[in-house]
Homo-oligomer: A and B are copies of this chain.
Amino acid sequence: MSSKDFQSIIEHERVLTSPEELVTYSYDATENRCIPKAVFRPINEEEVRKIINFSRDNEIPLTPRGAGTSLSGCAVPSEGSFVIDFGLMRGIKEIDTENSFVTVEPGVVYESLNSNLVESNLFFPPDPGSGNVCTIGGMVSTNASGIRAVKYGTTRDYVQRLRVVLASGEAVTLGNLAPKSSAGYDLVGFFVGSEGTLGIITEITLKIIKRPIYFAVASLSFDSMVKAAKAVGEIISSGLDPSVLEIIDDKTLRVIKMYQDIEVGGNGVLLVEMDGFSKEDVWNRLDTALEICDLSGASGSNVARTSEEREALWRARKAALPSLARYKPTLILEDVTVPLSRLSEMLGEITKISDKHGIEIATFGHAGDGNLHPTLLVDRKSPVEMEQTKKVMEEIFRAALSLGGTLSGEHGIGLSKREFMKLEHKNSLDLMKKLKNVFDPKNLMNPGKVL
């Protein structure tokens, strides 16, 4: 097959080549853009294999795509690449309630999966902000998580088995259905978070767990972020196991109040949720958390007694991004994560960096696992601001790493943070590059991402 024959690799109507179609595949949720050579919409593993074989034989790069919600640029096509769009591979193949597994195709949407599990009282806990549109394939590729990671962990903790087509065109099954294993190297965990750079995932088996029944939620106001961060550390180290422990800083609060009729006080807010299977236990744990906040200097608290009140408390957190988006045309959402004991220092560093460069930064995030989203509020049309943005990001990354943290808690590296990987991983980055080369000697699997 010559390189011009790519239109017949799979059924013609599922190969997109018109400029207006291709442009819709040129971006993700970052500022990066690149028009692909063509887009393939396979319906099964055999078609994925054909696309990979063609791309390898003709040295055309491949970029897999779920819903394109990446905040790191990992879904932006590589230069001259084919995109594999998993929009037609949305099958839930098996819900195994006896063993608590679900097997899906990569294009299944997170919320759709959990809707399908409601009847069985089971769920897949990692809960990214884009959960109503993002795909399971994308979540596996970025080791995505969200507000519930503080209790339930990240996607990696749930991936049990993967079916992957390698760059060689060979399909392999990684992992098995046993609850635990000590039989060789953990290839499943290695693939999770590899952002399409090692092979193309065609089937995913996830552990699923019992859905909690009771929830207790409170919102706490603090007059300083230092006090709020202190409370976060105490709640976690007390073993209270909150299912949500979110922080919202004063900048974010001020912007929320500009656009939303929401009562939130203080210079920093914590949102705490306990969940579980015993009403009493859940409320006991929330009460203890409230006492901790009180001792840490909370200036006010608001406890939700009904599901309506719970929704009301959630509104402030959910209003953060939409409000910030109204306030400034361009949001650059960062994702650094630090050890809990350094949370307060990291918040202080962000303020200093913001003041130094004159770039407004609103910070919120999953405080319970040290994951902050400092959000740069800028205008992409201002070259001055965009130039400062680069410096601000680099300084935020350096600060997080110097505090023992990581470049990304849940969004991945993609294009955006690639140049800082050496700062985080030092000489083990060379090891990652050598391992990538084993999987992908021609460097055709989402090249230019991660490493």
Contacts and interface: CB of A to CB of B under 8 A. Distances in A.
Contacts of A149: 180
A342 to B, nearest CB: 8
B409 A180 contact: yes
A258 B159 CA distance: 44
A400 to B, nearest CB: 8
A435 B176 contact: no
Interface in A143-164: 143-145, 149-150, 153-154, 156-157
A426 B170 CA distance: 12
Interface stretch (A4-12, A277-285, A313-321, A326-334): A277-285
A150 B174 CA distance: 22
Given A172-B427, A341-B99, A427-B172, A421 B183 contact: yes
Contacts of A172: 426-428, 431
B408 A183 contact: yes
Q: What is the copy number of this chain in the assembly?
A: 2
A176 B407 CA distance: 11
Given A187-B428, A280-B280, A181 B237 contact: no
Interface stretch (A107-115, A190-198, A382-390): A190-198
Contact of A181 (B99, B185, B408, B439): B408
25 contacts: A99-B339, A99-B340, A150-B179, A153-B180, A154-B180, A172-B428, A174-B428, A176-B405, A176-B424, A178-B338, A178-B405, A178-B406, A180-B370, A180-B371, A180-B406, A181-B408, A182-B193, A182-B408, A183-B421, A184-B451, A185-B190, A185-B194, A185-B435, A187-B431, A280-B281
Interface of A: 96-101, 142-145, 149-150, 153-154, 156-157, 166, 170, 172-174, 176-187, 189-190, 192-194, 209-210, 233, 236-239, 277-278, 280-281, 284, 335, 337-341, 369-371, 404-413, 417, 421, 424-429, 431-432, 434-436, 438-439, 450-451
